[in-house]
Structure 1
Amino acid sequence: MHDTSTYDLRGLKCPLPVLRAKKRMAAMQPGERLWLETTDPLATLDIPAFCADEGHRLIDREAVDGGHRFLVERGPPAPSGRS
């Protein structure tokens, strides 16, 4: 069972939801999960792309009143020497 917290990104417009999610997830351990709550319609494209680019796993996504929620699992750390 995973303990998950929620990161409220509602009201922020692209690219802020992804930039803030990236910073928050960088401080997490691999395997930890975080719900991202957004109201930006572009987040439905941006969050999955962010996960794919950064090696995180998109576990779940759901439409909620006025926005979306994404459950993201922190992926492994980036290899050192990455350019």
Structure 2
Amino acid sequence: MTLQQNRATQNPARWDDVQIGDRVQLRRNGHREYLGKVDDRTADGAVVWVMSDGGNRQLFHVSDGYQLTAADSEGTPHEDN
């Protein structure tokens, strides 16, 4: 997994270090709102598509106000990212 520490910033300029297949969570206003695996992303890192465990695919844009962080298979955030 290549997700870097810069995901901790509240409004990152882009999510260009996330890779397809990375397990991630998206948080906003201190609450986890979505959990799944990166299904696709734009080359500039501005948009990611995340597939939930239930099979729902959701698009997220970096300007939507989400914090994207790595998560393990149980959805626990990785503290060292």
TM-score, normalisation: structure 1: 0.29
**Structure 1 or 2: larger strand share?**
2
Pick the structure with greater CA Rg.
1
**Structure 1 or 2: larger helix share?**
1
